Amino acid sequence: MIVPPGERPQGFPANERLRTDREFRDVVRKGERLHTAHYTVYRDSLGGEKRQVGISAGKRAGGAVARNRAKRLLREFYRLHKGAFPKGTRTAIVVRKPPEGAVLSSVCAELLPALRRRWGGSEGNAPCGPDISSSAS
RNA sequence: UGAGGAGGCCAGGUGGCCGCCGGUCCGCCGUAGCCAUGGCGAGAGCCAUGGCGAAGGCGGGCGGGAGGAAAGUCCGGGCUCCGCAGGGCAGGGUGCCGGGUAAUCCCCGGUGGGGGCGACCCCGAGGACAGUGCCACAGAAAACAUACCGCCCGCCGAAGCGGCGGCGCAAGCCGCUGCGAAGGCGGGUAAGGGUGAAAUGGUGAGGUAAGAGCUCACCGCGGGCCGGGCGACCGGCCUGGCACGGCAAACCCCACCCGGAGCAAGACCGAAUAGGAGGGCGACGGCCCCGCCGUUUUCCGGCGGGACCGGAAGGGCGGCCCGCCCGGGGCCCUCGGGUACAGGUCGCUGGAGGCGCGCGGUAACGCGCGUCCUAGAGAAAUGGCCGUCACGCGGCGGUUCGCCGCCGCGCACAGAACCCGGCUUACGGCCUCCUCGGACA
């Protein structure tokens, strides 16, 4: 890594994800748990600079369309609020109940306060609600 | 304008910002390696500097990125691996005819049947004299014969009605006799009633005691012949007076078809045909030869080797059986840990492909030419947010009754997972043609 990666603040590349079944099992088994109305969040801490997130939506999260929707919203939530996911941690978010009619702001309103309360939030990322995109031209 | 029938099309558009997947090109970094120069060394070679630079990492540019059903996984194929002498049985599937196709339970065109005023639609549509079985309830009777009500005939019966004769003034009585309700017995009948999903051909006429294919006409049915059609089948004539119900989506029979599993297929790479534990089964036999040993020889026994004959257990022929093959040394089954397995790479998307035109065919479809390249993930990309324009609904306001403005809400069903062809199911909207009816002119 000679050239600095120049990490884009709102990306979600493959190496920031939990990719294998093993990694998921590890986090779910060893991590701390946090329940909200529709989701369960597992987080363990490895130290270092890496930050990994995995999203799981099984059969109970609804049909394929509903599952895709839920996962996409959670991905967006991560991208826009990386401050709630400290470096050196691994987080797995499991969709437990189908969040019917959810939009990004409602997902954010459900998860962000809970995460801050439990693990402490860091630097002021955008709050919930319709944030006008940061880099207005 | 209402109700309905058939067919086709679309699956919101657009802008900004932030993302994801894979492709391609460029730049930077740069490991292995290669090259050049120099140095050291007897040499193999080593070291230094510079250049190129697989892989890989980072960044950027360009263009691509869900469906008509991607769904259910119900059929049919391709593809992959396993299996494959042959025969039989079992099992499964299909079931009017002809065609289409890689193939089908699909599609097209017919035939037959059924529904609708109609446009049109629907059909698991072989066989019920091969056999077995079933036909609930109701009904007299449900399959080989019969008869509940009813109808008709005869006899008995005898309330009643009548005739003749006798007696009597009369009422009436007596005798003989005719009809004869109810009821009983015997017989005829299957027209009618009633039951049922279904009732022993239907309608009409003759006929009769009443009736009946008893007779006749037409229809239906069976048989035969002739004609048409590739065929399912259709038409005509003759004939039989009719015997023989339904269910095969009950078993079954007949004809035809069918090997098994599936991309978590399968291949390669990684300590890599590494290798652990437990359990089960076993049988070898005959005969001959050679060597050694017990014991010096024969016999006998043991061990080792060899030739021939037979062949058990077991295994294979992926349901079973016959049969066949393997089977002289182990065979079979089960389980488990490891960095270890839903690790990586391939399979993986260009194909029975889409579109257009022409030709053949009623059509499904086929042939030819031209043209296009159009998702390839793997905890699984194809998105998120904001604006705007369409579209629909509701409300408010305005209106020149054509609409216009503002606000709010809605915008379906649904997400590729090896690939195709179908079927089925879910679902928002638009268009065209047709049928029946209404209103106006």
Number of domains in chain A: 1
Query: Does some domain include residue A88?
Result: yes
**Is 0.80 topped by the overall pTM?**
no
Phi, psi of A43 (to 5 degrees): -145, 130
Query: Does some domain include residue A6?
Result: no
A43: CATH: 3.30.230.10
Domain coverage including residue A27: 14-116
From the CA of A56, how many Å to the C1' of B158? Answer: 107
Query: Does some domain include residue A8?
Result: no
Q: Which nucleotide across the nucleic acid strands is nearest to A72, CA versus C1'?
A: B383
Q: Which pLDDT tens digit goes with each residue over A62-111?
A: 888 888 888 888 988 988 888 888 888 888 888 888 877 778 888 888 88
Query: Does some domain include residue A131?
Result: no
A101 CB neighbours strand B below 7 A? no
Q: Which pLDDT tens digit goes with each residue over A40-67?
A: 898 888 776 778 888 888 777 888 888 8
From the CA of A126, how many Å to the C1' of B86? Answer: 80
Query: Does some domain include residue A134?
Result: no
Query: Does some domain include residue A125?
Result: no
